[in-house]
Amino acid sequence: MAALDPQLDIAWESVEPRSRHRALRRFLRNKLSIVGAVIVMFLVLMAVFAPVLAPYPPLATHFSEAFKPPSATHLLGTDELGRDLLSRIIYGSRGSLGAGVLIVFVGVGIGVPIGLISGFYGGLLDEIIMRLVDAALAFPPLVLALAIAWILGPSLIHAVMAIGAVTIPQFARITRGQVLSIRSREFVEAARCLGASPWRIMLRHILLNSATPIIVVATLNIGTAILSVASLSFLGLGPPPPSPNWGSMLEDGSQYLNLAPWISFFPGLAIFLAVLGFSTLGDGLRDVFDPK
């Protein structure tokens, strides 16, 4: 029986160094993944060191400086109130990145346990949970998030709750599919024969071996979540002004596209780079975790 233990305790620490090197080489061969990782790291550092990097206070207004184009004084120009766009974009990265990560945490923290329990126990419980998940997935995600955010009211936390609630069914279904393909594997049956409790089997043997697609989808969903938060903010359901937020900045600049297009262009560029970074990073992680 003792010979079965190495097969039962599958964890990241058990991965051979040679396998880790191969995974790293696969990631480095994907040039777009490296670009994505660099973009994500740049955005994270920008959010962390925003007080150091921002040349001006993000809420400071100077009406005499309104609608100034990009220059040496204001690298990205100013908005209709004379606020420095670069400073607002730097501070706006905090809310956008933080919201994206929190949304994924909500989806993973609630959806994964639901899918794990549903797939492991099966039967009537699985049928009830999956029919509820199917009903939630029948609604267009952004429309459902918009309805929830409208009911809760304009706020960054409410936007996170609304979009996070929409991502729960997706993670529940992905996790359930992984559990169904793993729960009948030999090492799971061996754990049952050795007297492992159902919770130990679920958490130690099934969940760890289901982590790969969950991690990849979670990384991809951060970019989607940032875009969704920007969409709600553009519609006035994000953090109220004057808080710097990429979506609300995009909406403010849409009124002055002919006069000052840079007010919308640079926040839109920031959203584009964030989504591109997390999407390409997710593709790279998928290559790393692919057993083939």
Please check whether residue 233 lies inside any domain of the structure: yes
Please check whether residue 57 lies inside any domain of the structure: no
Q: How far is the CA of 131 from the CAs of 134, 138, 142, 175, in angstroms?
A: 5, 11, 20, 15
Total domains in the fold of the chain: 1
Helical pair 31-48 and 85-121, crossing angle rounded to 10 deg: 120
pLDDT score for 209: 82
pLDDT score for 290: 62
> Could you say which residues of the chain have pLDDT below 50?
1-15
pLDDT score for 11: 42
CATH of residue 207: 1.10.3720.10
Please check whether residue 62 lies inside any domain of the structure: no
Other beta carbons within 10 angstroms of residue 89's beta carbon come to 22
Q: How far is the CA of 110 from the CAs of 119, 124, 219, in angstroms?
A: 15, 20, 16
Q: Where are the alpha helices (DSSP H) in 122-155?
A: 123-137, 141-152
Its domain, for residue 211, covers: 19-52+74-289
Please check whether residue 12 lies inside any domain of the structure: no
* DSSP assignment string, 209-251: HTHHHHHHHHHHHHHHHHHHHHHHHHTT-SSPTTS--HHHHHH
pTM for the whole thing? 0.84
Please check whether residue 251 lies inside any domain of the structure: yes
Please check whether residue 69 lies inside any domain of the structure: no
pLDDT score for 205: 82
The DSSP H or E segment spanning 50 is helix 50-53
Please check whether residue 5 lies inside any domain of the structure: no
Please check whether residue 183 lies inside any domain of the structure: yes
129 Cβ contact list (under 8 Å, min separation 6) = 114, 117, 118, 172
- Assess contact for 283 and 30: CB atoms under 8 A: yes
The alpha-carbon radius of gyration of the chain (Å, integer) is 23
